[in-house]
């Protein structure tokens, strides 16, 4: 890319565009890279970065269409949707798919966002588009023909302390599959939900008892294991327990189908556990001990259902959002 380096030195090409060009031509031969360089440098000084990227992509398609088609197929095979937890009770959805499918999805969301606009609506277009996508998710969860997992339809699971529900404190709630959420959001979600009692240790936050009066014992056992562990028990994995297999830590029938011998493992980690050289133990306190084929050992302590606050409780932790004193007033 001698021409690009000369253009950079002369001020006709900035560093950002040079990086785009270098990354795009990394897998090409010197001859192919030179052809791409020759097709894009003349217009580069007059283009913003986004337009320059499109020019580079267009040149790549011209110079080696066969290789481009192979890269397209490889990338398409890796298509996926990811949930990305952000801060303050906000999350993102990242999806990869064929370009025409992505454009169709975006245009559909935009059309519905325009349709939702009325004279009293103060939301901007981006906000309405986001809300439309969220509405689609809610409608999907409301369907009755979705497959069940561990006896339950897909659902949201929010864990929140009684004091937070009553407005006596501002302790965060816990949204399964995401993590801690602001107390106000937890109260809002709890206001339109079916409740189940969880008794937790106030010091450690671990589950002591799970209300079972509504459900049959087999279902209640699965529910309790899911609520107790919260996520896949391989260290570092954050897959929600509701989307995991309920694994017998000690293989059945040698190990019983009981709370102390059950734990959630996502499909890849469940398969890994049964590979030669891997060993997994569940201790009485819920801690998992993993041993790898190399002999390394890793502990995964049981995560609290609700993370207890640290330090002595202050006046602010008891403050109600409406400014009133807690009972007895």
Q: Are residues 50 and 190 in the same domain?
A: no
Same domain membership, residue 255 and residue 210: no
Assess whether pLDDT exceeds 60 at residue 220: yes
In tens, the pLDDT along 137-175 reads 888 877 777 777 766 665 677 888 877 776 777 888 888
More reliable by pLDDT, 212 or 240: 240
Measured between alpha carbons, how far is 223 from 137 in angstroms, rounded to an integer? 23
Return the minimum-mean-pLDDT range out of 186-195, 200-209, 257-266: 200-209
pLDDT at 92 over 90: yes
Same domain for 320 and 213: yes
Question: Among 138-152, 223-237, 257-271, 295-309, whose mean pLDDT is lowest?
Answer: 138-152
Residues 117 and 20 in one domain: no
Residue 25 has pLDDT above 60, yes or no: yes
State which residues form the domain around 124: 80-141
Q: Is residue 149 part of a domain?
A: no
How are beta strands 91-96 and 80-85 bridged, if at all?
antiparallel
In a domain, 146, yes or no: no
Same domain, 106 and 88: yes
The pLDDT, as a whole number, for residue 51 is 93
Residues 111 and 222 in one domain: no
**Residue 137 in domain:** yes
The answer to the question of residue 147 being in a domain is no
194 token code pair: 């079916």
pLDDT for residue 144: 73
For the question of whether the overall pTM of this predicted structure is more than 0.85, the answer is no
pLDDT-based confidence at 253, cuts 50/70/90? confident
Q: Are residues 182 and 328 in the same domain?
A: yes
Q: Is 313 found in the same domain as 275?
A: no
- 3-state SS string for the chain: CHHHHHHHHCCCCCHHHHHHHHHHCCCCCHHHHHHHHHHHCCCHHHCCHHHHHHHHHHHHHHHCHHHHHHHHHHHHHCCEEEEEECCCCCEEEEEECCHHHHHHHHHHHHHHHHHCCCCCCCCCHHHHHHHHHHHHHHHHHCCCCCCCECCECCCCCEECCHHHHCCCCCCCEEECCCEEECHHHHHHHHCCCCCCCEEECCCCCCEEEECCCCCCHHHHHHHHHHHHHCECCCCCCCCEHHHCEEEECCCCCCCCCCHHHEEEECHHHHHHHCCCCCEEEECCCCCEEEECCCCCEEEECCCCCCCCCCCCCCHHHHCCCCCCCCCCC
Q: Provide mean pLDDT across the span 116-135.
A: 91
**In a shared domain, residues 65 and 88:** no
Domain co-membership, 319 together with 187: yes
**Dihedrals φ, ψ of 145, to 5°?**
-100, 10
**pLDDT (mean) for 241-252:** 86
Reference 109, options 139, 82, 136, 80; nearest CA is 136
Tell me how many domains the chain contains.
4
Cβ atoms of residues 3 and 37 within 8 Å: yes
pLDDT at 81: 94
| pLDDT value of position 205 | 67
pLDDT digits (tens, 9 = 90+) for 49-73: 999 999 999 998 888 788 888 888 9
Query: Are 122 and 22 contained in the same domain?
Result: no
Q: Higher confidence at residue 328 or residue 200?
A: 200
Quick one: pLDDT at residue 128?
A: 94
Whether 18 maps to a domain, the answer reads: yes
Domain contains 262 = yes
Is 50 a domain residue? yes
Same domain, 317 and 215: yes
296 located within any domain: yes
């Amino acid at each position: 890319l001698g021409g690009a380096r000369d253009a950079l030195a002369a001020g006709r090409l900035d560093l950002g565009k040079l990086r785009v060009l270098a990354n795009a031509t990394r897998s090409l031969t010197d001859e192919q890279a030179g052809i791409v360089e020759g097709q894009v440098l003349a217009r580069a000084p007059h283009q913003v970065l986004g337009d320059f990227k499109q020019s580079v992509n267009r040149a790549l398609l011209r110079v080696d269409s066969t290789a481009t088609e192979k890269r397209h197929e490889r990338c398409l095979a890796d298509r996926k949707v990811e949930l990305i937890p952000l801060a303050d009770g906000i999350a993102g959805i990242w999806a990869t798919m064929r370009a025409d499918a992505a454009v169709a999805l975006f245009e559909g969301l935009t059309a519905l966002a325009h349709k939702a606009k009325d004279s009293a609506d103060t939301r901007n277009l981006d906000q309405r588009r986001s809300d439309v996508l969220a509405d689609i998710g809610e409608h999907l969860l409301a369907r009755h023909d979705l497959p069940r997992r561990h006896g339950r339809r897909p659902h949201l699971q929010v864990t929140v302390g009684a004091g937070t529900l009553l407005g006596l404190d501002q302790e965060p709630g816990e949204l399964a599959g995401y993590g801690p959420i602001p107390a106000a959001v937890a109260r809002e979600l709890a206001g339109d939900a079916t409740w189940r009692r969880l008794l937790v240790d106030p010091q450690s936050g671990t589950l002591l008892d799970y209300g079972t009066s509504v459900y049959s014992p087999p279902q209640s056992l699965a529910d309790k294991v899911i609520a107790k562990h919260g996520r896949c028990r391989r260290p570092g994995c954050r897959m929600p327990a509701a989307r995991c297999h309920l694994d017998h830590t000690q293989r059945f029938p040698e190990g019983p189908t009981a709370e102390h011998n059950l734990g959630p493992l996502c499909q890849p980690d469940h398969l890994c556990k049964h590979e030669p050289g891997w060993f997994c133990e569940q201790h009485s306190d819920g801690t998992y001990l993993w041993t790898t084929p190399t002999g390394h050992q890793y502990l995964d302590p049981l995560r609290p259902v609700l993370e207890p606050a640290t330090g002595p409780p202050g006046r602010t932790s008891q403050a109600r959002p409406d400014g009133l004193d807690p009972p007895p007033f």
